Amino acid sequence: MSSPEQKSEDRRIFIDKQSPEPYQALLGVSEAVRATAAAVGFDRTLVELVNLRVSQINGCAYCLSLHTRAALRAGETTQRLGVLAAWRDTEVFTPVERAALTLAEATTAPADTAAREAATRAAREVLTDDQISAVIWVAVTINAFNRVSTMSGHPVRPER
């Protein structure tokens, strides 16, 4: 993990390995959130779009790599994945997906009260309260995983 010339204080600590109990609890939360999303009618592609958009905002390379593969396995298209960062400028996302992405972005930058309130108002036009709650939980959870990965410095290596 570290080269001999690298100082020990410069090495990242993989907090998921250093403190596995909280990480295992976070994995449990993630499973519950996926079940909640499915229960309100969201398919895995919508969940992965939220995971990816939040990970783009947070600059989490590890989560971007992981959730891109998951989205493709769930049936997402390369076109939609390719334009996700500029989703507002496309016509490829449904009103439900657009509402979910807006909420996810507002959840990722909660200090912007006006954007948060506008996102919730817009979401209410196409989503139920249970669906709004599920989207916010997906965004909260991936934000937590983004912090684990970015603070740990989880590597992204070439695929075989």
In a domain, 5, yes or no: no
pLDDT digits (tens, 9 = 90+) for 42-91: 999 999 999 999 999 999 999 999 999 999 999 999 999 999 999 999 99
How far are the Cα atoms of 103, 112, 121, 136, 144 from residue 117, in angstroms, in the given order? Answer: 9, 9, 6, 13, 22
2-44 residue pLDDT tens: 444 556 556 889 999 999 999 999 999 999 999 999 999 999 9
153: in domain: no
Domain count, the chain: 1
∠ CA 42-134-63, nearest 5°, is: 80
**Nearest partner of 123 among 111, 110, 134, 113, judged by Cα:** 134
Helix (H) or strand (E) holding 64: helix 61-73
Within a domain: residue 69? yes
Specify if 128 maps to a domain: yes
